[in-house]
Amino acid sequence: MLEREQSRAQVGPRAAVARLLYHWAMAWPGVAAVALGVAWGVASGTVSPVFGAAASPDMAKDLDRVRGKSVTQGRVCSDPARPCGDDFKPNELSFEIVTKFAFDRGEDRSKPFFAIILESGPLCGIPDVKRVEVQSLFPGRKVFLHRYFCEDFGDNVGYTNVNKKVGFLAVYGGDTAAEAKRALAEVKATGRFPAANVRRMQVYVTYQLE
């Protein structure tokens, strides 16, 4: 059993590099032969991942370029009963991703919207049961919880215009400032969130490229 786990640990990095090289080859046909040849060598163990990453002088630059590319996609899905797709967790505010991820970018973003920040706390410190309880107060508006990278890429959804190192509980406020103002009044009427405030933001998904 130990030998099997050690074998998996050794193959893991090779498979990851090989997979990335394969997708590069699909994206840039001009380097397909080189990339696929190196990918095979990395996967089989005859070429080290370090050599594979340095096989082309431009490969590191290509990876940096891909990592730095951000694509703005569609609107957020604000109805808690109708999230977009299956790739978002219950605590996340989902959005329409029209162009599927193909190892061609590092990030997708939603169109801008307004949120009402209900309360903040330590990152990873606000329990999800609280989000579920607060959701019952706003059945028509998605309540979401910021947990960016609490479980590494298992929590790869974040929000712009906030401190990514701080956790917070928020509710969708609308697409316009006028809608957000009405949503804030609705939140204040509950008497439970005295520090609630409006924030314009986007949802983003960070993709793993290594």
Q: Are both 56 and 106 inside the same structural domain?
A: no
Q: In this structure, are residues 112 and 200 in contact, taking their beta carbons and an 8 Å threshold?
A: yes
- Of 14, 39, 67, the one marking the end of a domain is 67
Q: What is the mean pLDDT of the chain?
A: 82
In tens, the pLDDT along 170-204 reads 999 999 999 999 999 999 999 999 999 999 999 99
Q: Are both 32 and 115 inside the same structural domain?
A: no
- In whole angstroms, what separates CA 61 from the centre of its chain? 23
Q: Are both 101 and 120 inside the same structural domain?
A: yes
Q: Are both 96 and 179 inside the same structural domain?
A: yes
Q: How confident is the model at residue 6 (pLDDT cuts 50, 70, 90)?
A: very low
Q: In this structure, are residues 131 and 169 in contact, taking their beta carbons and an 8 Å threshold?
A: yes
Q: Are both 93 and 195 inside the same structural domain?
A: yes
Pairwise CA distance, residues 42 & 92, whole Å: 36
From the list 64, 101, 40, 154, the residue with the least C-alpha distance to 17 is: 40
Q: Are both 76 and 126 inside the same structural domain?
A: yes
- Domain of residue 189, residue span: 71-206
- In whole angstroms, what separates CA 13 from the centre of its chain? 22
Q: Are both 19 and 109 inside the same structural domain?
A: no
In tens, the pLDDT along 22-40 reads 555 555 444 444 444 444 4
Q: What is the pLDDT of residue 134?
A: 98
Total domain count, the chain: 2
